Amino acid sequence: MNIRPMQAGDFSAFWPVFQAIIQAQESYAYDPQLTEDQARALWCELPQETWLAEEDGVVLGSYFIKPNAAGPGAHVCNCGYMVAPAARGKGVASALCAHSQQRGRALGFLAMQFNAVVASNTVAVALWKKLGFAEVGRVPGAYRHRSLGLVDCLIMHKWLQAPEADKPLTASAPLIARKNIEAVVSRKRKKN
Amino acid sequence: MNIRPMQAGDFSAFWPVFQAIIQAQESYAYDPQLTEDQARALWCELPQETWLAEEDGVVLGSYFIKPNAAGPGAHVCNCGYMVAPAARGKGVASALCAHSQQRGRALGFLAMQFNAVVASNTVAVALWKKLGFAEVGRVPGAYRHRSLGLVDCLIMHKWLQAPEADKPLTASAPLIARKNIEAVVSRKRKKN
């Protein structure tokens, strides 16, 4: 398994995986009607970095990493992971998560936070716990599962560095958050 | 006190309040260096609705309401509230929050979630609890308070309707989330 930066041209090969996952409506709070262009923007342009796992030219999965919030919250990162249905049970999610924690440390983040792990996704919850994430919150009925109806979402958290290692942030983190705002400003100006 | 929709032209009168609050770095995870245009986009354009509280032409505070997530998470709304320093202790936050809960119900949301209530902001925490919000999570050290250093963030939640009242969403909620993605797509296309 090779994990490398995802390039814009890679997304088409990943799109069937992305689409199957959002249409299942079992794990991601993304609009199931997203187009490929919208999904590419969400997965590859909004985040700080996006990585792809592949083997023999076949896409196994992908993850993104970004600041979970701006300014005084920008020392915590957030990641999203997707694994191709055909590649499940082979340790891909585990490898992606380990890789993302290394990237998080390298980028200067102190901790990693997942905002909405669907509680009925027991395989994911068990994996994140095994990889050192703590359940720090549970929001009742926050996810409308396609077959189970309203299910809880978990907030999960892991320190990537001892909080004592706290140091000034790299310049890039707040800039990423600012980028999204500027996109909206620019869109609004074009409209007027 | 009059609470009315905030118009684009109202933001300049609110901007000093917004700027004082983000520069204090005690309650909001916004970049303290935001410009007025960026702040307007964040507060007035990204959300579904933005409301302004005023009295005798003086701005007392403001709040926004938006879906907390897209697709299967779009039945939960999220709000942000800001009260002018000079108007504190007069029940403005309480009035804004009551108003936002009415709007949330009217827009078809089932619940309201706050993702990052800074734990050291004890006045806010006590107020939300008094208004019926439950603490459903606590993320350690997720906020870099300007004078206290890393402090916890609370996740707070309130049902706006009995979950049994669950019904198909209004069309507007997922569209709002889609709007932000389209802004990025459009920006990206302009660049290429």
User: How big is the A-B interface in CB pairs under 8 Å?
Assistant: 184
Taking CB atoms and an 8 Å limit, are A73 and B143 in contact across chains?
yes
Of B155, B166, B186, the CB nearest to A137: B155
Nearest CA in chain A to B46: A184
> Nearest CA to CA, how far is B56 from chain A (Å)?
31
Of A34, A115, A139, the CB nearest to B136: A139
Between these two residues, B142 and A166, which has the higher pLDDT value? B142
Cβ-in-10-Å burial (0-12, 13-18, 19+) of B30 comes to: buried
Prediction ipTM score: 0.86
What is the band of B173 on the pLDDT scale with cuts at 50, 70, 90? Answer: very low
Prediction pTM value? 0.87
What is the secondary structure of B150-163 as a DSSP string? EEEEEEEEEESS-G
The answer for A 120-149 residues in CB contact with B (under 8 A) is 136-146, 149
Per-residue pLDDT tens digits for A39-59: 999 999 999 999 999 999 999
Q: How far is CA B120 from the centre of its chain?
A: 18
On average, the pLDDT of chain A sits at: 89
B184 touches chain A (CB under 8 A): yes
- Rounded to 10 deg, the angle between the A92-106 and A122-130 helix axes is 50
Under 8 Å between Cβ of B81 and B93? yes
A81-94 mean pLDDT: 96
A161-190 mean pLDDT: 53
Neighbours of A167 (CB within 10 A): 9
Of A29, A33, A136, the CB nearest to B138: A136
Taking CB atoms and an 8 Å limit, are A185 and B38 in contact across chains?
yes
Cβ-in-10-Å burial (0-12, 13-18, 19+) of A9 comes to: exposed
Taking CB atoms and an 8 Å limit, are A71 and B32 in contact across chains?
yes
Q: How long, in residues, is chain A? A: 192
Chain B contact probe: residue of A181, A188, A192 with most B CBs at under 10 A: A181
Nearest to B81 by CA among B61, B65, B63, B106: B63
What is the secondary structure of B61-77 as a DSSP string? EEEEEEESSSGGGTTEE
Per-residue pLDDT tens digits for B80-111: 999 999 999 999 999 999 999 999 999 999 99
Q: Is A66 helix (H, G, I), strand (E, B) or coil?
A: strand
- Rounded to 10 deg, the angle between the B172-191 and A172-191 helix axes is 100
Percent share of chain A, pLDDT over 90? 82
Taking CB atoms and an 8 Å limit, are A138 and B143 in contact across chains?
no
What is the Cα–Cα distance from B44 to B22, expressed in whole angstroms? 16
Nearest to A155 by CA among B14, B152, B50: B152
Residue A57's contacts (CB-CB under 8 Å, 6 or more residues apart) are none
What is the band of B172 on the pLDDT scale with cuts at 50, 70, 90? Answer: very low
Q: What are phi and psi of A27, to 5 degrees?
A: -145, -30
Q: Is B10 helix (H, G, I), strand (E, B) or coil?
A: helix
The answer for B 78-107 residues in CB contact with A (under 8 A) is none
Taking CB atoms and an 8 Å limit, are B25 and A178 in contact across chains?
no
Nearest CA in chain A to B111: A142
Nearest CA in chain B to A159: B140
Chain B residue numbers with beta carbons less than 8 Å from the beta carbon of A40 are 185
Q: Which residue has the tokens 């995986």?
A: A17
> Nearest CA to CA, how far is B91 from chain A (Å)?
27
Query: What b/e sequence results for B123-137 when a residue is b if at least 16 CB atoms lie within 10 Å of its CB, and e otherwise?
Result: ebbebbeeeebebbb
A174 touches chain B (CB under 8 A): yes
B168-192 mean pLDDT: 47
What is the band of B72 on the pLDDT scale with cuts at 50, 70, 90? Answer: very high
Structure tokens at A190: 């074009």
What is the band of B8 on the pLDDT scale with cuts at 50, 70, 90? Answer: confident
What is the Cα–Cα distance from A179 to A172, expressed in whole angstroms? 10
What is the Cα–Cα distance from A110 to B159, expressed in whole angstroms? 33
